[in-house]
Amino acid sequence: MNKLIELKGITKSYDGETVLNHINLDIHDHEFVTLLGPSGCGKTTTLRIIGGFVTPDEGDVIFDGARINDLPPYKRHVNTVFQKYALFPHLNVYENIAFALRLARLPEAEISRRVKEMLALVALSGFEKKNVNLLSGGQQQRVAIARALINKPRVLLLDEPLGALDLKLRKDMQNELKKIQTQTGITFIYVTHDQEEALSMSDTVVVMQNGVIQQIGTPTDIYNEPVNAFVADFIGESNIVDGVMLEDKLVSFSGHTFPCLDSGFGKNQPVDVVVRPEDVDVVSPEKGMLRGIVSSVTFKGVHYEIIVDIGGFKWMIQTTDYVAPEAEIGLYIEPDAIHVMNKSEFSGQFGDYSSFSDEMDNISDPDATEEE
């Protein structure tokens, strides 16, 4: 696959506040790339730079080998599905989708044919004359996709396109978007703060925080081998503890030495250790590698989610077997369940579940996750 878009050393700041700090990113043809991160991480700005709505302070935007920093949006072979869609309220469904073709002054017959084709692609045939303001969120979403795709762009940019939809609809649209991407073969660059969305749809996930790319990789890589505490915490649930790499394939944390699969660290190097909650086995105290007191148990349907206090550090563990609160239990961790990472600026900020309920509160607050 050849490189379609290259971002080279992109820096952007607003009012002295750096939003993007030397971003380097290659995007290949036919790829589904997701920019993932919490609000304010710079993902939307990156997207808008590719779309041509923001000019970077430094660095180059290369499209198909040519520098396009100063090319206005209307001359780029890139189209956007906007946050909250930005459908033109004065035009009906048909005219919204036909907008770009009308500008190109195509013959009416061709416009009509292509709009119908697009409506079929997004499963909205028969909606031509509908008023866009009266459509449901999901329908508006489809019109926005059709409108952006009709010009046959090389790249489609999607800015939190599912953010305004409810959970059930979001799942359906995820599948549909993926299907449309495979069908058309267009490169998708997708911005979201929803890690599950990112993992399930993308070929490549780009995790961003503080205007810096933290990690680029396939969804499996990102999940199984996060490079630092931020990525580990942002993608899925993780227990992140301080550890020391004694030697290759041997790490010590929480007062116990564990065999692991990681190597290449220095002798006695301090590291961050990630253990996913579902990778820990609950055993009797005497069989456990670690011992702890259960401080809370929550039934989640498929499994129980328990918080265990191990020497003052709270671990989250998912298990299918019931344990009683206040009980002492043992934990057994397989070598392949342990992932060792270098220390980073994020060390110590994430991965402790002492303030767990507080965090849940935050996640359920919809405003807190809104970009801009």
Partner 1 sequence: MKLLSRLYMVLIFVFLYAPLLIMVLFSFNEANSLSNFTGFSLRWYEELFQSEEVLDVLSNTLILALLSAAIATVVGTAAAVGIEKMRTRWLKTAVNTVSNMPMMNPDIVTGISMALLFAFAMKLFHMESIFGFWTVLIAHVTFNLPYVILSVVPKIRQMDRFLPEAALDLGCTPMQSFFKVELPAILPGVLSGFVMALTLSLDDFVISYFNTDGDFQTLPIYIFGMTKRTVTPDIYSLSTLLFAGVLLLLILSNLMQSHAERKEQRIAAAKRRARSGRRG
Partner 2 sequence: MGRVILKEKMNKKRSFLRTAAAYPHMVWSVLFIVAPLIFVLYYALTEEDASGNFYFSFANITALAGESYLPVFFRSICFAVVATAICLVLAYPLAYFLSKCKVSSQRMLIMLVMLPMWMNLLIRTYSWMNILETNGLINNLLTTIGLPNAKLLGNGAAVVLGMVYNFLPYMIMPIYTVMSKIDSRYLEAAADLGCNGPQTMLRVILPLSASGIISGITMVFVPSVSTFYISQKMGNGRFEMIGDTIERQFMSNYDYHMGATLSLVLMVLIIICLAVMNRFGDEDGGVLV
CA pair distance 56, 25, nearest whole angstrom: 14
Q: What's the min distance (Å) between Cβ of 100 and partner 2?
A: 4
Query: Is 129 within 8 Å of 169 (Cβ atoms)?
Result: no
57 binds, among partner 2, partner 1, none (CB under 5 to 8 A by kind): none
The reply to whether 367 sits near partner 1 by the rule CB under 8 A is yes
- In the bound state with partner 1, the residue whose beta carbon lies nearer, of 17 and 358, is 358
Mark 9-48 with x for binding to partner 1 (rule: CB under 8 A) and - for no binding.
-----------------------------x----------
* 74 versus 299: smaller Cβ distance to partner 2: 74
Which one among 90, 105, 129, 267 touches partner 2, defined by CB under 8 A?
90
Q: How far is the CB of 20 from partner 2 (least distance, A)?
A: 19
Radius of gyration of the chain (CA): 24
User: Are 4 and 63 in contact, with CB atoms under 8 Å apart?
Assistant: yes
Task: Give least dist CB 57 to partner 1, A.
Answer: 21
Q: Which residues touch 14 (CB under 8 Å, ≥6 apart)?
A: none
Interacting residue with partner 2 among 88, 259, 298, 348 (CB under 8 A): 88
Tokens 């692609």 belong to: 121
Residue among 134 and 167 whose Cβ is closer to partner 2: 134
1 contacts partner 1 (rule: CB under 8 A): no
Q: Does the protein bind partner 2 through residue 53 (CB under 8 A)?
A: yes
Choose, by CB under 8 A, the member of 39, 82, 237, 334 that binds partner 2: 82
- From candidates 51, 161, 219, 236, binder to partner 2 by CB under 8 A: 51
Work out which of 100, 201, 307, 329 binds partner 2, going by CB under 8 A: 100
Among 24, 55, 125, 131, binds partner 2 (CB under 8 A): 131
| Contact (CB, 8 A) for 101 and 150 | yes
Least Å distance, CB 138 to partner 1, is: 28
Distance, in Å, from the CA atom of 13 to the CA atom of 23, rounded to the nearest integer, reads: 12
CB-wise, 24 or 133, nearer to partner 2? Answer: 133
| Among the listed residues 15, 16, 70, 89, the single contact to partner 2 using CB under 8 A | 89
The verdict on 361 binding partner 1 (CB under 8 A) reads yes
Min separation Cβ 314 and partner 1, Å? 18
Q: Select the binding partner of residue 79 from partner 1, partner 2, none (C-beta < 5 to 8 A, by kind).
A: partner 2
Question: Is residue 134 within the footprint of partner 2 (CB under 8 A)?
Answer: no
Contact between 79 and partner 2 by CB under 8 A: the answer reads yes
As measured in angstroms, the least distance from the Cβ of 332 to partner 1 is: 33
Instruction: Record the tokens describing residue 208, joined without a space.
Output: 């961003």
Single-letter code of the amino acid located at 183: Q
Q: Beta strand pairing status for 313-319 and 304-310? A: antiparallel
CA atoms within 13 A on the CB side of 300: 14
Q: CB under 8 A: which stretch of 4-12, 81-89, 234-242, 275-283 binds partner 2? A: 81-89
Contacts to partner 2 by CB under 8 A: 51-53, 72-74, 78-80, 82-84, 86-91, 99-100, 102-104, 131, 147-148, 151
Residues at the interface with partner 1 (CB under 8 A): 38, 349, 358, 361-362, 365, 367-368
